[in-house]
């Protein structure tokens, strides 16, 4: 897993609640047995349906930070949604809340998810829609996020932060628990 | 000792280790695999030189990508064929049990797990599918996970998770005649919203829940994920044990007696604490249906669609109406449909087949409707044929097909064509879920069957002479 520490990049504002994983990567793209090749499938159905969809707008094509609203990533558990976002080139998703499975999947692939209060999200989406060139800066080392000269602290789980900064994955930790797992199995019989 | 709810009891019993600033290491008793989300986990097992810790705790089947026509053995789509064959090879190479086509037990992973007695009370289960919550109907703690966590569970028999919050849902009152478990869970989702139980595991309690069959309980637990819950469960009782007895993997003899004893402990203590509690009053409640683009967009069939004026989520509602080609404050009754679909891990079990057959018997579906009935498993198919339901479906003009996920998510050739409207016994009405630009209305199998007969959205009550002739 790649290490993540900080990033300054332009933003893609997606002004909708409840972005589900069927929208992020439609089922038609899930037949591959590979972990790669999903970037082109990102939001493919919405891109086709809505010509004015933000991912069809060339002004936002270089964005590396996705800004959206509540309950992002709800629905199917497909980890392909996280792979598609990362492979498109997005490194961070900033929303007012995330669904649980998506949140777990993201951390395991080095995709940073930041939750901020709805009022800030709404204001920043509006700003970004007005000016596609506005850049956002995220520093995971000190939990700071800034946009348009406003800076806020964000909460991030200390375990996941450690994993992202050091590029570690959960399996390394789980495998280090081998003795405890064996003891548990023996005790249970 | 402090009063405990069943969720925390199961969690604590599976806790392998807990360290400050780390998520809990939770032991996983059972892993279910299917073709879509497992290949990349097996690849990593190979690449990292890992071994699979407890193969006997893993069971696989093929459900999402396979065709459901009679010639399903020949998968024409080369990418789907590779995906299915990859699972076959992985299971063979690792000596993992797979229920393949024509094994008598192939089917939707959440239908065959319970059917085989693989899903047991008090166990922890993971599967790379969000509807793993289905297994909670047996008092199991069952999580839908991504591919990484399938890898973790296969390699270590554990996953890393924060302890969930707990949410008690009690259904109270006696609903109207045609109100089913599907309607109850849609009513819950409409009440608390699709993110309403985020971070929580739901326990469903109350006399209504206790009165339900295992099939209906599975329908309710299945859709827990549609209100954002990490899982949903129901404490085991005699209905649970009666269902499980004598199934393939169910413990036998003295071990079954032990299971009965364990189930007595698998209840929430009186006055147990929950982080959230809600009562859903279903007194005289009537069947539900969705109108929009996610499962919280559900109303009673007797109600009008919601107004957008002054709505907090106006933008989403407007988008939903534009997509489903409906208007605010309109009735859904009488809206013409093109497709009717019965099936999925939500409503593809034998009980659902019987309900549909009861309505279709001596009737024919409307000429404007294409109806697919897809059994959840080869066992459901077999039972349905033994009961003569296949003949009823054929006489009614419905297409009774082979088992799989089918039109629920349109990964295989079964899709609702662009612009067409489908009433469906499934779990998600997301944009394009059943096929690009398709429109989905979620409802109970009874409502789907009645609508198929009439050619437009309707309740069972709307069918002439229903009740009088039964």
Tokens of B70: 């009679």
Decide the pairing of beta strands B200-205 and B165-172.
parallel
- With beta carbons under 8 A apart, name residues in chain A contacting B198: 71, 97, 99-100
What digits encode the pLDDT tens for the residues A6-36?
A: 999 999 999 999 999 999 999 999 999 999 9
Mean pLDDT, residues A177-189 taken together: 95
Residues near B154 by Cβ (< 8 Å), separated by ≥ 6?
A: B31, B41, B45, B52, B53, B58
What digits encode the pLDDT tens for the residues A133-163?
A: 999 999 999 999 999 999 999 999 999 999 9
Greatest Cα pair distance, chain B, in angstroms, is 66
Question: What distance in Å separates the CA atoms of residue B106 and residue B73, rounded to the nearest whole number?
Answer: 12
DSSP A39: G
Question: What distance in Å separates the CA atoms of residue A80 and residue A75, rounded to the nearest whole number?
Answer: 13
Q: Which of A13, A31, A42 to mutate to test the interface with B (most CBs of B within 10 A)?
A: A31
* Residue A118 contacts B where some CB pair is shorter than 8 Å: no
8 Å CB contact of B319 and A20? no
Task: Give the model's pLDDT for residue B466.
Answer: 56
Mean pLDDT, residues B77-91 taken together: 97
The DSSP secondary structure of B370-394, one letter per residue, reads EEEE--SBHHHHHHHHHTTHHHHHH
What part of A 65-94 touches B (C-beta under 8 Å)?
A: 70-71, 74-79, 82
User: CA A182, A188, B1, B6: dihedral to nearest 10 degrees?
Assistant: 100
Task: Give the model's pLDDT for residue B1.
Answer: 73
* Residue A50 contacts B where some CB pair is shorter than 8 Å: no
Residue A116 in any domain: the answer is yes
The DSSP secondary structure of B85-103, one letter per residue, reads HHHHHHHHHHT-EEE-TTS
User: pLDDT category, B468, cuts 50, 70, 90?
Assistant: very low
- With beta carbons under 8 A apart, name residues in chain B contacting A18: 194-195, 294, 316
Helix (H, G, I), strand (E, B) or coil at A7: strand
CB of B175 closer than 8 Å to CB of B183: yes
* Residue B413 contacts A where some CB pair is shorter than 8 Å: no
Per-residue CA distances from A114 to A69, A91, A157, A178, B3 (Å): 11, 11, 10, 32, 36
Q: Which of B430, B437, B439 to mutate to test the interface with A (most CBs of A within 10 A)?
A: B430
8 Å CB contact of B152 and A174? yes
Tokens of B309: 């004026």
Minimum Cα–Cα distance from A106: chain B residue: B146
CB of A65 closer than 8 Å to CB of A10: yes
Residue A61 in any domain: the answer is yes
CB of A22 closer than 8 Å to CB of B429: no
Helix (H, G, I), strand (E, B) or coil at B414: coil
- B202 bridge partner residues: B167, B232
Question: What distance in Å separates the CA atoms of residue B303 and residue B289, rounded to the nearest whole number?
Answer: 10
Tokens of B398: 């419905």
Residue B49 burial (10 A CB sphere; 0-12, 13-18, 19+): exposed
Task: Give the model's pLDDT for residue B465.
Answer: 56
* Residue A105 contacts B where some CB pair is shorter than 8 Å: yes
Minimal Cα–Cα distance from B22 to chain A, Å?
6
- Pick the closest to residue B151 from B84, B64, B51 (CA basis): B51
- Pick the closest to residue A37 from A93, A90, A80, A72 (CA basis): A80
What part of B 131-150 touches A (C-beta under 8 Å)?
A: 132, 144-149
Residue A1 in any domain: the answer is no
Tokens of B216: 């209906």
What digits encode the pLDDT tens for the residues B379-423?
A: 999 999 999 999 999 999 999 999 999 999 999 999 999 999 999
Average pLDDT, chain B: 96
8 Å CB contact of A30 and B36? yes
- B422 bridge partner residues: B339, B440
Greatest Cα pair distance, chain A, in angstroms, is 63
Range of the domain at A48: 6-188
Question: What distance in Å separates the CA atoms of residue B67 and residue B406, rounded to the nearest whole number?
Answer: 7
* Residue A177 contacts B where some CB pair is shorter than 8 Å: yes
With 80 as the cut, is the pLDDT of residue A181 above it?
yes
Residues near B208 by Cβ (< 8 Å), separated by ≥ 6?
A: B171, B172, B173, B174, B175, B184, B282
Q: Could you give the number of structural domains in chain A? A: 1
A167 backbone φψ class: left, alpha, beta (φ>0; ψ -120 to 50): left
8 Å CB contact of A16 and B319? yes
- Predicted complex ipTM: 0.96
Tokens of A28: 């038609």
What digits encode the pLDDT tens for the residues B46-57?
A: 999 999 999 999
Q: Residues A147-150: contacts with CB within 8 Å, 24+ apart?
A: A147/A11, A148/A124, A150/A120
- With beta carbons under 8 A apart, name residues in chain A contacting B199: 100
| pTM reported for the whole predicted model | 0.97
With 60 as the cut, is the pLDDT of residue B469 above it?
no
Task: Give the model's pLDDT for residue B463.
Answer: 86
CATH number reported for the structural domain that contains residue A130 in this entry:
3.20.19.10
What digits encode the pLDDT tens for the residues B9-30?
A: 999 999 999 999 999 999 999 9
8 Å CB contact of B230 and A101? yes
Tokens of B204: 């469903």
Residue B378 burial (10 A CB sphere; 0-12, 13-18, 19+): buried
What digits encode the pLDDT tens for the residues B110-141?
A: 999 999 999 999 999 999 999 999 999 999 99
- Pick the closest to residue B411 from A35, A46, A82, A78 (CA basis): A78
- With beta carbons under 8 A apart, name residues in chain A contacting B16: 177, 180-181, 184
- Pick the closest to residue B285 from B263, B303, B264, B269 (CA basis): B303
Q: How many helices (H) and strands (E) does chain B have?
A: 16, 19
- Pick the closest to residue B269 from B221, B235, B312, B319 (CA basis): B235
Domains of chain B (ranges; CATH) run: 6-276 (3.30.499.10), 303-462 (3.30.499.10)
8 Å CB contact of B22 and A30? no
Q: How many inter-chain contacts (A to B, CB under 8 Å) are there?
A: 171
């Amino acid at each position: 897993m790649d290490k993540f520490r900080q990033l300054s990049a332009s933003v893609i504002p997606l002004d909708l609640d409840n972005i589900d994983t069927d929208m992020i990567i439609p089922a038609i793209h899930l037949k591959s047995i590979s972990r790669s090749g999903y970037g082109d499938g990102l939001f493919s159905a919405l891109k086709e349906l809505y010509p004015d969809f933000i991912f069809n707008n060339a002004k936002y094509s270089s964005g590396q930070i996705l800004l959206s609203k509540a309950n992002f990533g709800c629905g199917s558990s497909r980890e392909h949604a996280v792979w598609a976002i990362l492979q498109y080139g997005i490194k961070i998703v900033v929303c007012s809340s995330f669904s649980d499975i998506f949140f777990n999947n993201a951390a395991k692939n080095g995709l940073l998810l930041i939750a901020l209060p709805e009022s800030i999200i709404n204001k920043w989406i509006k700003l970004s829609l007005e000016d596609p060139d506005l850049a956002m800066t995220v520093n995971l080392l000190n939990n700071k996020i800034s946009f348009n000269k406003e800076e806020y602290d964000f909460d991030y789980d200390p375990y996941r932060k450690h994993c992202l900064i050091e590029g570690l994955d959960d399996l390394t930790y789980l495998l280090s628990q081998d003795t405890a797992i064996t003891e548990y199995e023996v005790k249970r019989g | 000792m402090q009063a405990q709810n069943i969720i925390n009891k199961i969690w604590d019993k599976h806790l392998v280790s807990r360290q400050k600033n780390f998520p809990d290491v939770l032991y996983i008793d059972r892993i279910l695999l299917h073709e879509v989300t497992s290949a990349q986990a097996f690849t990593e097992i190979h690449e990292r030189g890992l071994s699979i810790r407890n193969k006997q705790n893993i069971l696989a089947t093929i459900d999402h990508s396979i065709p459901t026509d009679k010639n399903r053995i020949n998968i024409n789509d080369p990418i789907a064929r590779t995906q299915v064959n990859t699972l076959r090879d992985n299971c063979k190479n690792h000596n993992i049990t797979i229920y393949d086509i024509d094994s008598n037990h192939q089917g939707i992973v959440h239908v065959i797990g319970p059917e085989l007695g693989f899903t047991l009370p008090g166990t922890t289960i993971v599967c790379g599918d969000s509807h793993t919550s289905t297994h909670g109907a047996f008092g199991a703690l069952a999580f839908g996970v991504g591919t990484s966590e399938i890898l973790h569970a296969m390699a270590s028999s554990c996953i890393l998770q924060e302890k969930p919050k707990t949410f008690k849902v009690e259904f109270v009152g006696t609903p109207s005649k045609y109100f089913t478990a599907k309607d109850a869970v849609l009513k819950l989702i409409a009440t608390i919203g699709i993110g309403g139980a985020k971070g929580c595991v739901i326990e469903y309690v109350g006399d209504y829940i206790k009165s339900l069959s295992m099939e209906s309980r599975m329908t309710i637990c299945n859709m827990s994920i549609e209100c954002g819950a990490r899982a949903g469960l129901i404490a085991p009782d005699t209905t649970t044990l009666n269902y499980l007895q004598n199934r393939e993997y169910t413990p036998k003899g003295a071990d079954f007696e032990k299971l009965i004893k364990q189930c007595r402990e698998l209840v929430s203590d009186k006055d147990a604490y929950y982080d959230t509690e809600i009562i859903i009053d279903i007194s005289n409640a009537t069947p539900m249906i969705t109108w929009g683009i996610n499962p919280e967009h559900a109303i009673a069939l007797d109600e009008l669609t919601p107004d957008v004026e002054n709505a907090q989520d106006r933008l989403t509602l407007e988008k939903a109406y534009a997509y489903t080609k409906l208007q605010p404050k309109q009735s859904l009754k009488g809206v013409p449909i093109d497709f009717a679909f019965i099936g999925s891990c939500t409503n593809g079990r034998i009980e659902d087949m019987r309900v549909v057959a009861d309505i279709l018997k001596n009737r024919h579906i409307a000429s404007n409707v294409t109806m697919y009935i897809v059994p959840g498993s080869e066992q459901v198919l077999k039972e349905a044929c033994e009961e003569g339901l296949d003949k009823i479906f054929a006489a009614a003009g419905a297409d009774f097909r082979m088992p799989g996920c089918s039109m629920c998510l349109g990964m295989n050739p079964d899709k609702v064509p662009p612009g067409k409207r489908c009433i469906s016994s499934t779990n998600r009405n997301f944009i394009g879920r059943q096929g690009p630009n398709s429109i989905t209305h979620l409802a109970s199998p009874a409502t789907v069957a009645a609508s198929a007969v009439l050619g437009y959205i309707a309740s069972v009550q709307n069918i002439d002479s229903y009740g009088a002739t039964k």
